[in-house]
């Protein structure tokens, strides 16, 4: 009689290594990413029907989120899970401010409203920075990889739809990055190289989902 243990397919699956973090983030946010592209002013932007005022409003309400991400990454740049992501070359807050001045004039901060959805998004990031800095991985993934992936297409589409020149499209230009494709791969690889325990991984995935939901809320509010 063969006394060797029975090894089931389910057991084999349970011993497989979990997906790398960037892959896990992509899977966890797949549906929300699709929803974000189909919602509010982002959907209008992708269709080429967004107005100049709506686009300026979108940048105005994303700016505080970027400022909080970049403040958090700089504050915690020596954190073992964040040091590879604290990369000023990818930061967008300064470019957003430049575009806002081109779109709405030097007094844009007083003329373009910051909506509750925009405040809530930034406040969530500030809370993450103060209480669990590793959650900034999720916000870097959602914003920066998205910008690096779709920015060039959006730059062309907005330039055509709104008649914008380069002075109002700095957000999509990464002038300190000579090879966007290589940088994008390196950024994803840096996230994949982060090793978190099961609970921390689950928290980062949940934060990325919440970040997409916050982006959708901003987009929908601006379309109202």
pLDDT of the residue at 13: 46
- At the topology level of CATH, where does 22-223 sit? Heme Oxygenase; Chain A (1.20.910)
2: pLDDT strictly greater than 90? no
- pLDDT tens per residue across span 137-178: 999 999 999 999 988 889 999 999 999 999 999 999 999 999
7: pLDDT strictly greater than 90? no
- pLDDT tens per residue across span 38-52: 999 999 999 999 999
Question: What pLDDT band is residue 16 in, cutting at 50, 70 and 90?
Answer: low
- pLDDT tens per residue across span 87-107: 999 999 999 999 999 999 999
Phi/psi at 77 (nearest 5 deg)? Answer: -65, -15
4: pLDDT strictly greater than 60? no
Q: Distance between CA atoms of 15 and 216, rounded to whole angstroms?
A: 36
Share of the chain above pLDDT 70, in %: 92
Whether residue 188 is annotated as binding a ligand: the answer is yes
pLDDT of the residue at 151: 83
Question: What pLDDT band is residue 17 in, cutting at 50, 70 and 90?
Answer: low
Token pair listed for 29: 């946010």
Whether residue 141 is annotated as binding a ligand: the answer is yes
Domain parsing of the chain, residue ranges: 22-223
Own/partner pairs, 152-158, CB within 8 angstroms, 24+ separation = 152/180, 154/45, 154/46, 157/45, 157/46, 157/48, 158/45, 158/50, 158/55
Query: What SS3 class is residue 23?
Result: helix
- pLDDT tens per residue across span 67-80: 999 999 999 999 99
| Cα 109 to the center of its chain, rounded Å | 23
Average pLDDT over residues 77-87: 97
Average pLDDT over residues 9-28: 73
Residue 116's nearest CA partner among 31, 214, 24, 20 is 214
Contact 172, 153 (CB under 8 A): no
Residue 140's nearest CA partner among 19, 32, 21, 220 is 21
DSSP conformational letter for 16: S
8: pLDDT strictly greater than 80? no
To 5 degrees, how large is the angle CA 43–CA 112–CA 215?
35
DSSP conformational letter for 106: T
pTM above 0.85, yes or no: yes
Contact 36, 212 (CB under 8 A): yes
Longest dimension (CA), the chain: 85
- pLDDT tens per residue across span 191-219: 999 999 999 999 999 999 999 999 999 99
Whether residue 33 is annotated as binding a ligand: the answer is yes
């Amino acid at each position: 009689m063969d006394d060797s243990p029975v090894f089931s397919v389910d057991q084999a699956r349970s011993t497989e290594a979990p997906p790398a973090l960037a892959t896990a983030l992509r899977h966890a946010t797949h549906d929300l990413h699709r929803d974000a592209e189909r919602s509010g002013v982002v959907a209008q932007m992708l269709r080429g029907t967004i107005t100049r005022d709506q686009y300026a409003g979108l940048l105005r309400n994303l700016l505080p989120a970027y400022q909080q991400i970049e403040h958090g990454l700089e504050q915690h740049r020596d954190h073992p899970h964040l040091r590879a992501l604290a990369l000023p070359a990818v930061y967008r807050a300064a470019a957003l401010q430049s575009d806002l001045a081109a779109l709405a004039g030097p007094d844009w901060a007083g003329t373009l409203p910051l909506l509750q959805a925009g405040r809530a998004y930034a406040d969530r990031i500030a809370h993450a920075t103060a209480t669990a800095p590793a959650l900034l991985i999720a916000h870097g993934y959602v914003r920066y990889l998205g910008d690096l992936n779709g920015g060039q297409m959006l730059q062309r589409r907005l330039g055509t739809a709104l008649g914008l020149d380069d002075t109002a499209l700095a957000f999509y230009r990464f002038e300190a990055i000579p090879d966007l494709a290589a940088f994008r791969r390196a950024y994803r690889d840096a996230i994949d190289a982060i090793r978190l325990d099961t609970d921390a991984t689950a928290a980062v995935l949940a934060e990325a989902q919440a970040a997409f939901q916050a982006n959708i809320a901003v987009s929908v509010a601006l379309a109202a």
